Each structure stands twice: as structure tokens, then as C-alpha cells.
Amino acid sequence: MKNRGIFITATDTGVGKTVCTAVLAALLRSRGIKVGVMKPVTSGCIVIDGKLVSEDAELLKWAAGATAPDGDISPYLLSAPLAPSVSAFLDGVEIRFQTIREAYERLAASHDIVLVEGAGGLMVPLTESLLVSDLILYLGLPAIIIACPNLGTVNHTLMTCFCAQRMGIGLKGIIINNYPECPGEAEQYAPSMIETRSNVPVIGSFPHVVGRHPAAQVGAILEKISGTPLEKALEHLCSSPLPHGTI
């Protein structure tokens, strides 16, 4: 596979970006693809043995079987569970995009693909003047949007798509996470409404998994999509070039 990178963003925080990114990483790894993973900025880190640890990055490392240095996988670890710009200020940390890009380039040099998970959505402030969307553009990566199935997701997802398109961010597709086994009317109609109005493909939905550790959630999702058209679509999504006209 030719080296490439993909940025994973979402319509909001708490939508399930990390689990979805881990599913993609584990799926590609199972196909013999060397997957790099990166969580450039994590706020709300936990303390283990006196050190800040990103639980999100740990899940991604496990899913990808990553052996790269922690400093490249998670360059910025912040204490407070607040917007990264605020958490960084409280910790006395200056987030520099150049540092993130250098770490990304080291990962890209030794992997077939690098999955970069953002913080929250596109408009989350990373510094006093720069947003997650600015980081995506700075890295020059296309994005996948993770959305939720709930009532209101059409509005949230279309706003995210239109914002990305207006900024010049290439969109590879949308994945709807936590899709219920018995969807209501709003949940049934949302995917087609989003795809039609955004002109961005809805690749498919990851099923809702109840009450499990994140690693177990990843395994359960992989098991449920195994052998389905969605599994093939995800492989193609991560290996195909962007449509003409996008970055």
C-alpha cells in the first residue's frame, strides 16, 4: 500500500472517534497493513506512575499493534478535561503544529498508513488562534467524519461537512457510530438525508455495543461487520485516493 494518512474527526465530542479509529486500525492490521496511529492532543489524561497517559492513544496503540515512540503517537498530553487550548494554558504547555507534523512524518515514514484522531470536532480550539480544522489543513490530510445516529444528527453532520468543504478539507466519507439494532424512523432516514444533502458518502454504520470496555467494543464491532459489505467498504475507504477536486 502506498503511504497515506487519514484524519478522523467527528460531529461532536463523545461520539466515539477513538473506538471507530481503533476499529479501522485493527481491520487494516488484520490485512497485513502496517498501521501508524496518532492522537496529537489529548486533554483529560490520567496519571499512571506519576506520568500523564492518554487512554485514547493507548487504545489506538493496542488496536494497531503500534511500536512507535509514545512521543510520536501522542505528542501533547494535558491534564484538565477541557478544550485543549484551555487545558494547555493551565498546564503551561505551548501546542506547536510543527511538532505534530514532525511526529506525523516520522510515523508516515515507517508505516503504510497513519490514522490521526482529532479532539472533538472541527471547531475545537487547539491554541489561542488555531482549531482542529487548521491542523487537518496543516497536515494536508483528508478526513473521515464520525457521526451519531440520534435525532439531530442530520443538522450536526451537515454543518460539519459544509464547514470542512468550505475550508477545503477533503472528505473521504462518514461513519455513523452506535447505530441501534432496532432504529427508529429518524435513525432510519438520517443516513440517506445526510448523504444526499452533503454529497459525502455515508460508508456505513457501526453497531451499538452495550456496556463493554473500549477494547471489547472494538472486538465486538469487528465481529459484527466481518464478512459484510461494510468491511470491504472500509478497506476501500482507507486505501483509495480521494475523488478528483479534493486535497
| pLDDT for position 244 | 37
CATH class of 4-32+96-239: alpha beta
Give the tens place of pLDDT for each residue, 143-191.
999 999 988 999 999 999 999 999 999 999 999 999 988 888 888 899 9
Give the tens place of pLDDT for each residue, 186-237.
888 999 999 999 999 999 999 998 777 899 999 999 999 998 888 888 888 7
Confidence of residue 241 (pLDDT cuts 50, 70, 90): low
Query: How far, CA to CA in Å, does 88 sit from each of 85, 101, 120, 161?
Result: 5, 18, 15, 28
Distance CA 21, CA 117 (A): 7
Give the tens place of pLDDT for each residue, 57-115.
999 999 999 999 999 999 999 999 999 999 999 999 999 999 999 999 999 999 999 99
Domain ranges of the chain: 4-32+96-239
Instruction: Specify whether 39 is catalytic.
Output: yes
| pLDDT for position 99 | 97
Of the candidates 17, 39, 61, 172, the residue annotated as catalytic is 39
Q: Name the residue with cell 444533502.
A: 197
Q: Nearest 5°: phi and psi at 5? A: -135, 155
- Report pTM: 0.93
